[in-house]
Amino acid sequence: MGDLRLKAQNILKLKQQEKAAEVKKSELSLEEMINNRKTISKINFTDKIQKEINEFNFNLLESANNGESLKIDVLELENDTFSRRDDGSIKALIKYLPIKQKVATFLNETNFEFITDNIITDDTLQRLYELICENDIYPIWKIRESENDNNITILYLDVNPLINFEEKRLELKRKVEQRKKFENHAVVLYKKNLKEIEESEKKNKIRDFLFTFFSSLYVSVVILTILFSALGFLPIEKITDTFSLVSIGWPYFLFTEFKSLFIFSLPVGVIFSLFLAYKKS
C-alpha cells in the first residue's frame, strides 16, 4: 500500500511541476508579446511624428488656408490599451506610450490647459513640440473621441497660429498665480469657517450637556426620593400625609421628613445624570 502512495505522490509532483512550467512559459510568452507590440508601436509612432515634423510647414499653411488650426494626433487609447494579467497584478501596457503613463491612465480627467512638454517621454515627439514653439506658436494639448469609434480617446496637439507662444505662456502664468491666490484664500476661509463651526458645536454640546444633566438630575432625584420612601424608608402614613403636588419641588424635600432620603438620593441622581448627559453628548 505504501508503494502505491509513493508512486501516486511522484506522479502528482511531476504533473504539478509540468503545470507550473506551462504557466511560466505562458507568462513569458505574454511578456514577449507585449514587448513586441510596444516595439512595433514605437516604430510606427516615431515614423508618424517624424513625418509630421518633415511636413510641418506645409501642413500648417494648408490648415490655415482652410481656416482651421493644425491638429496633430499624438496618441490613441483604446479600451484594451491597458490589459490586466490573469493573476490580478498591475495593468501591463501593450502599446508604446510617448507620454507619462499617469497622464494616459487619467486622460479624460486631466486638465490639459496647464500641461506643457513635461508629459512627453518620446524624443521625436519632444522635437515636434519644440518645433512648434520655435515658430512662436503655443501648442495646446487636447483630447477628443474618435468619430468612428466612441471607445477610442485621441490625444492631439492643437497648433493655432493665432495663439502667440509668449502671450499664452504669460496668460497661463497669470492664471496659475490667480488660482494659487484663490486656493490660499479658500484655505483661509475654510479654516476660519471650520474654527467657527467647531466653536459653535462645542457650545452646543456644552449647552445640551448642561440641559440634559440638570433636567435629568431634577427628575431622577425626585423619583428616587419618592421611590426610596415608597420602599419603606418612611411609614406609608407620612408619605400620604406629606406628599402633595408641591413636594415635587426640591426645596420642599429639605423641610420635610424626606430630607434624609433627598440627601441620599442626590449623589445617586448626580451620577445617573452625568452618565446620561455624557452618553447623549
- State how far Cα 98 lies from the chain centre: 27
The C-alpha cell that represents 181 in the structure block = 491666490
pLDDT digits (tens, 9 = 90+) for 149-164: 667 788 999 999 998 9
- pLDDT value of position 94: 76
Give Cα separations from 186 to 130, 173, 176, 191 (angstroms). 37, 20, 15, 8
Check: CB of residue 98 under 8 Å from CB of residue 122: yes
- pLDDT value of position 246: 40
- pLDDT value of position 93: 73
Q: How many other CB atoms sit within 10 Å of the CB of residue 77? A: 19
Report residues of the chain scoring pLDDT below 70.
Answer: 1-2, 7, 21-28, 79-92, 147-150, 181-192, 194, 222, 224-266, 281
pLDDT digits (tens, 9 = 90+) for 210-221: 777 777 777 777
- pLDDT value of position 185: 56
- pLDDT value of position 231: 63
Q: For residues 100 and 278, give the distance between their C-alpha atoms in angstroms, rounded to a whole number.
A: 54
The C-alpha cell that represents 210 in the structure block = 448642561
Euclidean distance between the first and final Cα of the chain, in Å? 73
- pLDDT value of position 32: 77
- pLDDT value of position 168: 86
User: Using alpha carbons only, what angle is made at residue 244 by residues 243 and 250, rounded to the nearest 5 degrees?
Assistant: 80
- pLDDT value of position 23: 66
Q: How many other CB atoms sit within 10 Å of the CB of residue 222? A: 19
